[in-house]
Amino acid sequence: MSYEGAMLKTLEMPACLKVEQALLKALFRHEGVIEEFGAGEHIVEEIADEFNLSQAQRTAVLETIYRKENRLKKSQLWHRLLSRAADSLAKVGLITRPTETLKITGKREWMLTESGFDQSLQLLKIPSTQKEKFSTKSFEVQKIAKQIIEASRPEKSNPVDASKKIIKKLKESTTRARGFRQAVLQAYDFSCAFCGMKPHAPNDSLWEAEAAHIVPHSSLGRDDIWNGITLCRTHHWAFDVGWLSLHDDFVIKVSPKISSLGSLFGKMQDSDCIRIYSANDVQMRLPLNDNLYPHQSVLAWHREHVFFTGP
C-alpha cells in the first residue's frame, strides 16, 4: 500500500466516491459554482463538517520528498482528497475545471455541467421534473447566457421571429430557455424591474422573480436579452395580461381601465401593486449595461398587442 493509501486508511478518511458525491451536493447548494479552493478555505471546511471530520483528519499532512530537487513538499490530506474528487468529476464530465469555466465566467471556478446537475438532483432525491425551477448554473446554460448577454444589439429588430419553432420538450430548447432565464435574471440582478422585490426560497436556490419575454414565447418572441425583463410574479401577470406596459423612455404605463375598478383592486395591505404606477411617472429599474435594455421595437409591440387600452 502506498504511503498516502496507508495514511487514508489509518485516519479512516471518507472513501473517494463519497467525497465526489458530497462535492456534487455542495455544488448544488452553491448554485452550481464553487471557486477554486485552497486548503483551509470555507468550502473545504464546509464539506469536512458534513463528514464530521475530526481535527486530526482535517489537519493531517502528507509529506512527499522530491528526490530530484531534494525538496520536501507538504500537503493537507483532506484538501488533496477533495481536489482529487473534483478532478475525477471533471474527467467524467460532471463538472468543468476552473481553466475551462474561466472562459465563460472570467473566474476560476468549478461548475456543474448539465449531467452533473442531473446527478446532483438524483443524489438529493429531487425529481428531474423539478430541474427547471432551480436557478442553479450549469456550464452549458451559462455559455448560452453569455452569448445572449454579449450579442450585439441591432438598431432595428423585428420583435417576432417567424422562423422560431416552438418545441417545448426538446432538451436543446429547455437548455436554451434556461440560458435566456439566467441571462435576464442576472442582467436585472434577480429583482423585479417594476417594484424591485428580490425574494428567494429559504434554501437560496429558488428565486421568486421570473425572466419574462416582452413579446411572449407563444407570439414567437425571440430569446434576445432586449426582449427580456425580470418581474415578480404579480407584475409578470399584470404585464402579460395588459394592465401594465412601458413607454419608450421606460416609464411604466397603466391601462386606463384601472379607473373603472374599485380601490381594493391590486391592493396588498396599504400598498397598491398596479395603481401605484398611474399616479406618478415611474421608470422601470434598468440593467447597468444599456446594451441589455429592452429594445424599442419590442416595447412598441407590447403596447400595440398586449396593453389594454379599450373601454
- What is the contact surface with Zn ion in residues (CB under 5 A)? 192, 194-195, 197, 232, 235
Closer to Zn ion by Cβ: residue 38 or 196: 196
Closer to Zn ion by Cβ: residue 48 or 195: 195
- Are 73 and 66 contacting, i.e. CB atoms less than 8 angstroms apart? yes
- Kindly state the smallest distance separating residue 196's Cβ from Zn ion, in Å: 7
CA distance 212 to 231: 7
Closer to Zn ion by Cβ: residue 103 or 267: 267
- Kindly state the smallest distance separating residue 197's Cβ from Zn ion, in Å: 5
Of the candidates 301, 144, 304, 289, the residue with the CA atom closest to the CA atom of residue 224: 144
Task: With residue 74 as reference, give the H or E element that holds it.
Answer: strand 71-76
- Kindly state the smallest distance separating residue 273's Cβ from Zn ion, in Å: 7
- Kindly state the smallest distance separating residue 238's Cβ from Zn ion, in Å: 9
Decide: helix, strand or coil at residue 203.
coil
- Are 308 and 255 contacting, i.e. CB atoms less than 8 angstroms apart? yes
CA distance 36 to 224: 31
Of the candidates 249, 239, 311, the residue with the CA atom closest to the CA atom of residue 273: 239
φ, ψ dihedrals at 149, nearest 5°:
-70, -35
- Are 184 and 210 contacting, i.e. CB atoms less than 8 angstroms apart? no
- Kindly state the smallest distance separating residue 291's Cβ from Zn ion, in Å: 23
- Kindly state the smallest distance separating residue 44's Cβ from Zn ion, in Å: 39
Q: Measured over all CA atoms, what is the biggest interatomic distance in the chain, rounded to whole angstroms?
A: 88
Closer to Zn ion by Cβ: residue 13 or 195: 195
Closer to Zn ion by Cβ: residue 43 or 274: 274
- Kindly state the smallest distance separating residue 186's Cβ from Zn ion, in Å: 18
- Are 148 and 224 contacting, i.e. CB atoms less than 8 angstroms apart? yes
Closer to Zn ion by Cβ: residue 217 or 233: 233
Radius of gyration of the chain (CA): 25
Query: Which residues fall within 8 angstroms of residue 138, CB to CB, at 6 or more apart?
Result: 32, 111, 112, 113, 114, 116, 117, 178
Closer to Zn ion by Cβ: residue 121 or 229: 229
3-state SS of the chain: helix, strand, coil percent to 5? 45, 15, 40
- Kindly state the smallest distance separating residue 150's Cβ from Zn ion, in Å: 27
Q: Which three cell numbers stand for residue 309?
A: 387600452
Closer to Zn ion by Cβ: residue 23 or 195: 195
Q: Alpha carbon 187 to chain centroid distance?
A: 11
